[in-house]
Amino acid sequence: MGRYVLRRLLQLIPVFIGTTFLIYWLVWSLPGDAFAGKCGDRPCPDAYVQAMMDKFNLGDPLVVQYGKYMLNVLQGNFGETFRGLDVGELIGDAYPNTIRLALVALAIEAVIGLAAGVLTGLRGRGFLDNLVLVSTLFLISLPVFVTGFVLQITLGFELKWIKTTVSASPAPWEHLIVPGFVLGSLSMAYVTRLTRTSIAENKRADYVRTATAKGLRQRRVVGVHLLRNSAIPVVTFLGTDLGALMGGAIVTEGIFDIKGIGSLVYDGIIGKEGVTVTGVVTLLVMVYLLSNLLVDLLYAVLDPRIRYD
Amino acid sequence: MTTTQSEVDFEEPGQVPGAPLLEVDDLFVEFRTRDGVAKVLNGVSYRVEPGETLAVLGESGSGKSVTAQTIMGILDMPPGFITGGEIRFHGENLLKASARRRREVRGSGIAMIFQDALSALNPVFTVGFQIEEQLRLRRGMSRKDARKRAVELLDQVKIPNAKGRVRQYPHEFSGGMRQRAMIAMSLALDPEMLIADEPTTALDVTVQAQIMDLLKDIQVERNMGLILITHDLGVVAEVADRIAVMYAGRIVEQSLARDLYRKPGHPYTQGLLDSLPRLDLKGTELRTIKGLPPSLLNVPKGCPFNPRCPRVQDICKTEVPPQHRLAPGRLSACHFAEELISGD
């Protein structure tokens, strides 16, 4: 196991360099003048442009720029925006909101998805099964912005049950329930279907019969023997999804005005703040790679038949 | 050995003192499927006493496993339906018992060993955990005591290094060791009755013999009733006291083991015995029973064996043969049972 983890960690290095270079290159070679509109109605003075070119090493070849940038990042310095804001601080302010939103979404998809999946998987065909199948299909086919706006308008504007926007930072947990539902709805539908299939497949397994023959209670047979096996693909899916959720949700954060990493990236792209965009995306690449590694390790913990060495 | 729980079981209100350990009485089971109703059991009756081994013999689909599953109460219902008969354990009809009572009987009254131990053991829990959970949940043992007992049980089924093995997962065991672990698990609650459903089918021949010896030893030591379900006449010969031969959901012959081998009382049993490879007939073609077992959706009229029977007569095609009592404890469902026995 130790050797496997080490090998995976070493593999992260080329992947990290490759992705971040690609991002750096894409961001800084965007067409258009990075200084357009930065100085009000008139073009920026040459002295200002020159100062900025020096500050961000824009005169150097791209590879050299990237190298200098990475050296700073590895020392924990994400640089400054053109306006002089510290990108590290911006990320530090925004990330807790994204993490909270991600955890709420994950909790909702895990609890509702697993419960609905287990219930329909055990019962088999019938009204409940059809209801869940149709409603998950409905959720899967709806784009997030539709779910988001519909819930915001009905629950927020019409019924006034929730606040329409969550502008506060750090965002209070209770304000994140509906946004979390919106963000997690698609995965919730997948979790439901995955659990249902997995339970239905395993419920006639020989080891379930053995557990019953041992005289265990039905609750224990299902809750321990059946669920533990059926949860393997579901937990793996949830782990991967957490990695994706940690990457921020531009649409959901946009609709509910949550000051998370998604909005930060979005504003960075609109404002041509290359340093913000590269900084955030570099961080997200790391988070995603590490969470994938964790999922692979979790998989081995859940299923003892899998050994990595 | 702890026997406290078994002693309590004797005092259950539904039980009759002096009644046989297990009695299956005129059991009818059918599977209702989309293609129609399959009559899987059609009046199956047998009994087992403490210390006795009954071998239930038959081809795939003859109903031998379904009978066992009905006794254990682990038949998939639906599609299975019990349409008649009784299963009495110490005289108590289990089919009328509450779900709670049935659960109590499982494991501690009647335990079961399955054919394929790899799929019958839960792949994600250690062998120790699977033995201990019964002890902890049903005997209220502490984790430590349960672990100690699990090691003892693995020792009893002759698994070397039981202390280390108890922490391993089923896939880390070899086939024979896995079946031993399965047996240890079934013995955890000191059952009075053990049902072994093809316990050696998935194993090598040498390992088969070891497992059968082990089962026999344990049975004698504990004076357990044993139902041995198999399609292998060779396995049966050494261990069975009595044999019940099943065909198309019926018991076609029931007899003491040695009588059956000496003189089969049913053409089907005769066919089974003839189809055993024999060293003294080396070089001659192996005799087989012609045709296939009938589909249970569409059982032939009269005797279900009539399309394959070498001695078939007109009466076989119209009338279901009753059970002929050939000797005490010896039954045959053949119209010509007496002629077969008296030797043509």
Tell me what percent of the residues of chain A surpass a pLDDT of 70.
96
The answer on pLDDT for B8 being more than 70 is: no
Q: Do B171 and A304 touch (CB under 8 A)?
A: yes
The answer to whether the beta carbons of residues B110 and B101 sit under 8 Å apart is no
On the question of pLDDT at B199 being above 60, the answer is yes
Q: Which of A27-31, A133-137, B151-155, B182-186 has the lowest mean pLDDT?
A: A27-31
Q: Tell me if residue B25 falls in helix, strand or coil.
A: strand
Whole-number pLDDT of residue A194: 92
Residues 6+ apart with CB under 8 A from B287: B271, B274, B275
Helix ranges restricted to H, A143-176: 144-151
**A125 interface with B at CB cutoff 8 Å:** no
Burial class (CB in 10 A: 0-12, 13-18, 19+), A142: middle
pLDDT at A33: 67
CB contact under 8 A, B119 and A205: yes
Give chain B's radius of gyration (CA, Å). 21
Residue intervals in chain A for CATH 1.10.3720.10: 95-302
Mean pLDDT for A302-307 is 81
A225, closest residue in chain B (CA to CA): B122
Residues of chain B positioned with their CB less than 8 A from the CB of A303: 123-124
* Rounded Cα gap, residues A164 and A184, in angstroms: 18
Do B109 and B48 form a contact (C-beta atoms < 8 A)?
no
Mutate to test the interface with A, among B124, B153, B172 (most CBs of A within 10 A): B124
Question: Looking at the partner chain, which of B120, B134, B138 has a beta carbon nearest the beta carbon of A207?
Answer: B120
Mean pLDDT of chain A: 84
DSSP state of B38: E
Q: Nearest C-alpha of chain B: how many angstroms from A200?
A: 14
DSSP annotation of B45: E
The predicted structure's pLDDT at residue A37: 66
In this structure, is the dihedral angle defined by the CA atoms of residues A237, A239, A240 and A246, taken in order, positive or negative?
positive
Lowest mean pLDDT among A12-16, A36-40, B186-190: A36-40
Element (DSSP H or E) covering residue B23: strand B22-33
- Average pLDDT of the residues in A197-206: 89
pLDDT at B344 over 70: no
Query: Taking a C-beta distance cutoff of 8 angstroms, is the pair B114, A214 a contact?
Result: no
Would you call A215 an interface residue with chain B, using a CB distance cutoff of 8 Å?
yes
Show the tokens assigned to A184: 């997690």
Residues in chain B closer than 8 A to A227 (CB atoms): none
Q: What pLDDT does B5 receive?
A: 44
Give the nearest partner residue to B74 out of A209, A217, A220, using CB atoms: A209
DSSP 3-state of B82: strand
For chain B, first and last CA: distance in Å?
Answer: 52
pLDDT of residue B111: 92
Residue B130 near residue B107, CB atoms below 8 Å: no
Phi and psi torsions of B255, nearest 5°: -165, 165
Of B74, B123, B189, the CB nearest to A305: B123
Q: What is the pLDDT of residues B111-157, one digit of tens each?
A: 999 888 888 999 999 999 999 999 898 888 888 998 998 998 888 88
Strands B53-57 and B36-48 turn out to be unpaired
Which of B66, B125, B201 to mutate to test binding with chain A, by most A CBs within 10 Å of its CB? B125
- pLDDT for res B195: 92
Contact B72, B106 (CB under 8 A): yes
pLDDT at B3: 43
- Between the CA of residue B201 and those of A207, B117, B245, what are the distances in Å? 18, 10, 18
C-alpha span between B309 and A73 (Å, rounded) = 86
- Say yes or no to pLDDT of B12 above 70: no
Q: Tell me what pLDDT residue B62 has.
A: 86
Q: What token pair was written down for B179? A: 């079946």
Name the class of domain A95-302: mainly alpha
Task: Report the C-alpha gap between A141 and B206 in whole angstroms.
Answer: 58
Question: A with B: how many residue pairs have Cβ under 8 Å apart?
Answer: 70
**Interface pTM, i.e. ipTM:** 0.82
pLDDT digits (tens, 9 = 90+) for B254-282: 888 888 888 888 888 888 888 877 777 77
B170 vs B175: CA distance, rounded Å? 9
Query: What is the identity of the amino acid at A197?
Result: T
- pLDDT tens-digit map of A147-161: 888 888 888 777 878
Our CA-based measurement puts residue B71 at a distance from the nearest CA of chain A, in whole angstroms, of 10
> For residues A19 and A8, what is the distance between their CA atoms, to the nearest angstrom?
16
Query: Stretch B156-176: mean pLDDT, rounded?
Result: 87
Distance, in Å, from the CA atom of B86 to the CA atom of B92, rounded to the nearest integer, reads 9
Q: What are the tens digits of pLDDT across the range B47-69?
A: 898 888 999 988 888 888 889 99
Question: If we measure between CA atoms, which residue out of B279, B277, B290 comes closest to residue B232?
Answer: B277
Smallest Cα distance from A25 to chain B, Å: 47
CA distance A55 to chain B (A): 57
Report the alpha-carbon angle B215-B221-B224, nearest 5. 70
pLDDT for A301: 81
Give the burial class of B256: count Cβ atoms within 10 A of its Cβ; 0-12 exposed, 13-18 middle, 19 or more buried: middle
Residue B168 buriedness (CB in 10 A; 0-12 / 13-18 / 19+):
middle
B83, B30 contact by CB (below 8 A): yes
pLDDT at A275 over 50: yes
Q: Of A133, A249, A112, A127, nearest to A191 (Cα)?
A: A112
A213 touches chain B (CB under 8 A): yes
pTM surpassing 0.80? no
- CA A110 to CA A133: how far, in whole Å? 17
Contacts of A204 in chain B (CB under 8 A): 76
Across chain B, mean pLDDT equals 84
| Interface check A212 vs B, CB under 8 A | yes
Residues of B with CB under 8 A from a CB of A: 72, 74, 76, 103-108, 111-112, 114, 116, 119-125, 133-134, 137-138, 169, 171, 185, 189
Percent of chain A clearing pLDDT 90 (strictly above): 11
Q: What is the pLDDT of residue A76?
A: 79
**In this predicted model, what pLDDT tens digit does every residue of A23-61 receive, in sequence order?**
888 887 766 666 666 677 777 777 777 777 777 777 777
What is the phi/psi pair of residue A272, to 5°? Answer: 50, 35
Q: Please give the average per-residue pLDDT across A249-271, as a whole number.
A: 84
pLDDT digits (tens, 9 = 90+) for A167-185: 777 777 878 888 888 888 8
Question: A123-132 pLDDT, tens per residue?
Answer: 878 888 888 8
Buried b (16+ CB within 10 A) or exposed e, B211-221: bbebbeebbee
DSSP code for A86: B
Which tokens hold the place of A309? 């060495």
The pLDDT value recorded for residue B9 is 46
Selecting from A204, A216, A304 the residue whose C-beta is nearest the C-beta of B124 gives A304
- Whether residue B187 contacts residue B158, with contact meaning beta carbons closer than 8 Å, is answered with no
Query: Looking at CA atoms only, how far is residue A227 from chain B in angstroms?
Result: 11
